[in-house]
Copies of this chain bind each other. A is one copy, B any other.
Amino acid sequence: MFFASDNGAPCPPAIMDALIRANEGYTLSYGADAPMGRVRDQIRALFEAPNAQVHLVTTGTAANALSLALYTPPYGSVLCHRHAHIEADECGAPEFFMGGAKLHLIDGAHGKITPDGLAVAMAGAGGSVHSVQPSALSLTNVTEAGTVYDVAEITELATLAKTRGLAVHLDGARFANALAATNASPADMTWRAGVDVLSLGGTKNGLLGAEAVVLFDPAKSWELELRRKRAGHLTSKMRYVAAQMEAWLDGGRWLDMAAHANAMAARLAAGLADVTGAELAHPVQANIAFVRLPDAAHARAKAAGAVYYDMGGGLCRLVCAWCTTPQDVDALLDAFRG
């Protein structure tokens, strides 16, 4: 009954097998290997973006901070939700990589920015030499609240951002879950909607540590290369990173895994309807549920061996992974019910 994070799950056998296969013989380093070439082609095909550039790193924080640094000068700012991972959980990595630019925080229910919220933020940003200049909008899908933007919402926000000349970044640490939740195509949820750069996360969905920065403007690629190296994020033995992602994307595995995790969260949410005193803090739209529960329910779950994050005040976060089983979910619900 492990619901602490999708980061705590093991990796599927297919990924480990891919690592073993990638370990054959010698190869050139720093990305001049065969798996890297294949991943690039896969992503271009999946995103219907033949000119997209793909750069792999091993953490989502690196993918986000590097992406933002491409589009935000030191005297700029990134507009994002107050609870965005880039603001709340990266110890200032974006500011570090951007050379001291600001994050401009936007409130919004259930982790989502609304067009009105964005419009107000843009109206209050920049305008004179005395303040930093708004440079980018960063959206997160799946959001930190476990909710999902659909394609129309992303398109509306990105379109609005571009009226002010902002670049649009999508933090897709759980992008596969967002796709699975909406049945959208990768292209529709990104470049067709106005997204300039995507952090495509694999680590939270079954990889040891592999994330892709997908640049829909290939002209930014060389700068990304230099910034990645300079940040210590150019992996010498790239084949092992690339092999993970290749196997993950292969045959739709990434989406199948995400869909399963989403389904487990939906099962959990449905079951919580029968738990006395349980109250969802946000709609459950992907693989995460935030729920308020009576103390006794928490005590029973902990006693039964459940592992998850307490947020204080009875609120907890429950995250389902690619390998969460219906039995895990039901056992947790049973413990909550007492």
Contacts and interface: CB of A to CB of B under 8 A. Distances in A.
Interface stretch (A129-137, A246-254, A258-266, A287-295): A129-137
A137 B234 CA distance: 25
Interface stretch (A41-49, A94-102, A189-197, A278-286): A94-102
A227 interface: yes
A220 to B, nearest CB: 12
A75 B236 contact: no
A7 B237 contact: yes
Nearest to A64: B232
- Counting chain B CB atoms within 10 Å of each CB, which of A226, A231, A232, A236 scores highest? A232
A11 interface: yes
Contacts of A102: 92, 95, 103
A311 B251 CA distance: 43
A234 to B, nearest CB: 7
Contacts of A27: 8
B235 A233 contact: no
Nearest to A75: B226
A307 B61 CA distance: 35
A75 B101 contact: no
A275 B25 CA distance: 28
A266 to B, nearest CB: 21
Interface stretch (A83-91, A158-166, A329-337): A83-91
